[in-house]
Amino acid sequence: MHEMRFWWVRHAPVKGNDGRCYGNNDVDCDVSEISKFSNLANVLPENSFVYSSQLSRTIKTLRATEDQGFTGVSHNIDKNFAEQNLGLWAGLKYEDLDEKTQKLGVYHPNWLCDPNHTPPEGESYNDLYLRVVNGLKKIINKGSSGDYVIFSHGGPIKAAISFALSTSPEASLPFRIDNISISRLDFIENCWQIKFINLIP
């Protein structure tokens, strides 16, 4: 049986986050709570194919998990799994972003802005969805059964859930994806199965 098990892990909390949205800005994360990464390492399967975005907070989360015993076959960096590029909006406080999007008529209650809207010099959530799907399809087309652990971000994980559900990109936006949580999506005989979402080990 052809079975690919995707374990999506959201990165550790941004260090010193004061209520700002960072998008794909490369900011540091806090990996000081060792027990969280020990718990994560105990749940993730050994000898997995490992992927992460190019952003340091996903790579640092991976390294902290490896320090607690997690082992992967390989580590592949894939920019398709990075967070949404917010362009000139990156670094804004959430309250300021809400005010800005409301004035523009592109406010969304479950995301940074309307999924169709492209922030200045950035990308829309729908653009993010398409590149996440592109990254997933590249892995699937390689055709190897096994476990795939992807250290990523809230936006791409939600996009992967929508893809697995065969729904619109924004359908999964209401899902909560916590830091250092796992969401598992299995691709078995060309059919998606969602095992769990936002498991905190």
pLDDT tens-digit series, residues 45-103: 999 999 999 999 999 999 999 999 999 988 999 999 999 999 888 888 888 888 888 88
At 128 the three-state DSSP class reads helix
Identify which of 3, 68, 2, 9 has the alpha carbon closest to the alpha carbon of residue 196.
9
* CATH of the domain spanning 3-199, picked from 3.30.700.30, 3.40.50.170, 3.40.50.920, 3.40.50.1240: 3.40.50.1240
pTM value? 0.94
Q: Residue 15 — very low, low, confident or very high, per pLDDT cuts 50/70/90?
A: confident
As a whole number, mean pLDDT of residues 24-40 equals 95
Identify which of 8, 5, 2, 4 has the alpha carbon closest to the alpha carbon of residue 160.
8
Alpha-carbon torsion, ordered 33, 65, 42, 35, to 10 deg: -10
Domain boundaries, the chain: 3-199
